[in-house]
Structure 1
Amino acid sequence: MPQVDMPLDQLKEYQGRNPRPADFDAYWDRALEELRAVDANVELVPSKFQTPQADCFDLYFTGVKGARIHAKYVRPKNVQEPHPAIVMFHGYTGHAGDWSDKLAYASLGFSVLAMDCRGQGGSSEDAGGVKGNTHHGHIIRGLDDHPDNLLFRQIFLDTAQLAGIAIELPEVDPERVYAMGGSQGGALTISCAALEPRVKKLAPVFPFLCDYKRVWEMDLAKDAYAELRTYFRHFDPLHEREDEIFEKLGYIDLQFLANRIQGEVLMYVGLMDTICPPSTQFAMYNKITAKKQLAIYPDFGHEGLPGSSDRTIQFFLEG
């Protein structure tokens, strides 16, 4: 079988290359304390898009650092309450997508909350000193500042906050809140369930933001990871700070949050993926201690995976 990474038997044992900061757990415990101190000030605004089967709202909440975060909220009509809910996360630089994308789940009795990542292609605010989008460079945002100012720290906390908001909605069953997404959305699915352990099920697809040093060593710091190369070329051309940089990236490396997950995991990986290399994903998956299963697509890369959407629906319908 062709391969772009390790053989499968090695992938199943791989434990990652990126260094783990010594104070990693304290870092994220401190981050969660910061999040708990935030007044979310949740606001629901009826959307211009409406359907006979579901009510659609623009949902806004205040995240850490004061950013106002936007999500699309689709709530099914004429269903028994409380009912299950899904939090959805999009790919890197993207946005929450069309309202119609959520209606299949709403038709099955799920509320859906789809977040716009701060500073990317949607309507959420980036509180980094400017209004509007910042779109690219989010992995390296904050590398020359205190680790608490890494942008993905803030985005990871937004995912947990949105899940917490979903759990507290009166129409939602708090025991049936699930998370899903692909690529960056897969990464944020992981961060969501790790930082909000009340998420009962999660379905990440080829998750991003894992094992940065492995990406670098495979010479795949391009496409979604291109900013790693950009950073070294512009800010550390002699690689004098390479060890420091990868250790700081360890704070936002999802392989080290994976053991916090308590919900059941259904993960998808394509073994021909050169955008988010399989070994980086396995470094994270192999550290999950919760109930888990892996759907492996030997001939597929970072692309649509046939049958994955149907399988995810069935996974969530099982309750």
Structure 2
Amino acid sequence: MALFDLPLDQLERYVPAVPEPADFDAFWRTTLEQDAAGPVVLDVRPTDSGLSLVDTWDVTFAGFGGDPVRAWYTRPAQVEAPLPAVVEYLGYGRGRGLPHERLTWAAAGYAHLLMDSRGQGDQYGNGGDTPDPHSGALGGPGPVTRGILSPEDYYYRRLITDAVRAVGALRSLPGVDPARVGAVGNSQGGGLALAVAGLVPDLAALMISAPFLCHLQRAIEITDAAPYGDIVNFLAVHREAEEQVRRTLSYVDGVSFARRAKAPVHLGVGLRDTVCPPSTVFAAYNHYGAAAATAAPADRTVHVYPFNHHEGGEALHTRRQLSWLDGHLRPGQAQPRPGLPRPAGAPAPVPAVARG
């Protein structure tokens, strides 16, 4: 795919006026208050992952409507001290899979919670384990169009609520320092992590790449690639539903969450990405922290990959995330990470890079 969106110099200055409903804050406050009185963690069971350097537990926590949501909790083996922690959210169509699939954060010395995505898991990977009992509202078959005619019925109201409650679940698990919890995600996972940053005021760090659900009104106008293309296809059939759909999308737009976020943010974006177009990503990034009640400007870092599509920086970007996260969740701590001694003569970690 050739470059198709705004040039980089315009992206860096792109601060569009994104429609936001007047009751946005009230909508999310009411949503998160529902069913929030009971325990967030419902069950924790040790799991044999077949690995000896990490320990894993099968966690069930209470998500939207009190529904049970599954997750994997993994941490370095034989490390008893409370650790900084990361909650990770998954890409569109993917479930939590098997416990040994995502080991980067535990191998780096963090406690790690991988949240399953309700009603997803049938497109990639090794499946999911969390049904969505509220999927009967009118809308298309895919997650992005389920219940899209109403903000109250919309699928992402439920999934974002799950994502917020996953932070509370992680903070309550043994071996976690609750003051040092970050969120990470790519694509749909990045959109969820961004929403969490806007709804959880004391999140310690945010790492997102190619975030979905940002500047949605523009996204459905400039790309036909799925999942945004599924909304386009829905409106091509339901021709009189555009106003309802646009209203629903305004309640889950990542730009509105970004404006309210306070956590330091690390972002990755590919300039040839038709799945989550770069202008939609920069719209959220350039608005980040604008409405937060703080005198200091937002702590923001972006890495741009001019020749990459939705895959972005892949392993290079992960290495940059690791360096950045160490500086925010383990500032001033000597390397190496817990339980992973550095061999004599090994090079020092790569320093964080601001851009590139």
* Counterpart in the other structure of 2:143: 138
Q: State the aligned residue count.
A: 310
* Counterpart in the other structure of 1:265: 265
Distance in 1 of aligned mates of 2:107 and 2:140: 33
TM-score (norm 1): 0.90
Which amino acid in structure 1 is aligned with residue 233 of structure 2? Answer: T
SS of corresponding position for 1:85: strand
Offset of residue 154 of structure 1: 1.0
Q: Which string of whole-angstrom CA distances, capped at 9 and with x for unpartnered residues, describes residues 239-261 of structure 1? A: x4423421221001111111222
Task: Determine which of 317, 324, 329 is the counterpart of 1:315.
Answer: 324
Matched, 1:227 2:227: no
Q: Which runs of 5+ in 1 are unaligned?
A: none
* Counterpart in the other structure of 2:46: 46
* Counterpart in the other structure of 1:170: 174
From the superposition, tell whether residues 302 and 135 of structure 1 become closer, same or farther in structure 2 (CA, over 3 Å): farther
Contact 1:102/1:112 (8 A) holds in 2 = no
* Counterpart in the other structure of 1:123: 129
Distance in 2 of aligned mates of 1:43 and 1:89: 20
Distance in 2 of aligned mates of 1:35 and 1:198: 21
Contact 1:203/1:312 (8 A) holds in 2 = yes
Q: Which string of whole-angstrom CA distances, capped at 9 and with x for unpartnered residues, describes residues 206-245 of structure 1? A: 1011112212221x13322122122212322xxx442342
Offset of residue 35 of structure 1: 5.3
* Counterpart in the other structure of 2:354: none
* Counterpart in the other structure of 1:66: 66
Q: Which moved more, 1:37-46 or 1:300-309?
A: 37-46
Contact 1:270/1:300 (8 A) holds in 2 = yes
Distance in 1 of aligned mates of 2:281 and 2:14: 10
Q: Which moved more, 1:257-266 or 1:100-109?
A: 100-109
Higher relative contact order (CA 8 A, sep 6+): 1
* Counterpart in the other structure of 1:55: 55
Matched, 1:299 2:307: yes
Distance in 1 of aligned mates of 2:227 and 2:17: 19
Offset of residue 200 of structure 1: 0.6
Q: Which runs of 5+ in 2 are unaligned?
A: 122-127, 290-297, 330-356
Which amino acid in structure 2 is aligned with residue 231 of structure 1? Answer: F
Distance in 2 of aligned mates of 1:41 and 1:100: 22
SS of corresponding position for 2:145: coil
Contact 1:184/1:209 (8 A) holds in 2 = yes
* Counterpart in the other structure of 2:77: 77
Contact 1:38/1:63 (8 A) holds in 2 = no
Distance in 1 of aligned mates of 2:207 and 2:269: 11
* Counterpart in the other structure of 2:349: none
Contact 1:269/1:278 (8 A) holds in 2 = yes
Matched, 1:196 2:187: no
Offset of residue 129 of structure 1: 5.7
SS of corresponding position for 1:210: coil
Contact 1:88/1:115 (8 A) holds in 2 = yes
Distance in 2 of aligned mates of 1:260 and 1:164: 19
Distance in 2 of aligned mates of 1:234 and 1:66: 34
* Counterpart in the other structure of 1:91: 91
Contact 1:270/1:301 (8 A) holds in 2 = yes
Q: What does 1:250-261 align with in structure 2 at a 5 Å threshold?
A: 250-261=250-261
Contact 2:91/2:188 (8 A) holds in 1 = yes
Which amino acid in structure 2 is aligned with residue 229 of structure 1? Answer: V
Distance in 1 of aligned mates of 2:279 and 2:50: 43
TM-score (norm 2): 0.81
Please provide the CA RMSD for this pair.
Answer: 2.1
From the superposition, tell whether residues 24 and 209 of structure 1 become closer, same or farther in structure 2 (CA, over 3 Å): same
Q: Which string of whole-angstrom CA distances, capped at 9 and with x for unpartnered residues, describes residues 94-151 of structure 1? A: 1224433433322332111101110000111202167xxx995222222234x22211
Q: Percent identity?
A: 35
In proportion to residue count, which structure has more helix?
1
Matched, 1:279 2:276: no
Q: Which moved more, 1:43-52 or 1:274-283?
A: 43-52
Which amino acid in structure 1 is aligned with residue 305 of structure 2? Answer: Y
* Counterpart in the other structure of 2:6: 6
Which amino acid in structure 1 is aligned with residue 47 of structure 2? Answer: S
SS of corresponding position for 1:286: helix
* Counterpart in the other structure of 2:341: none
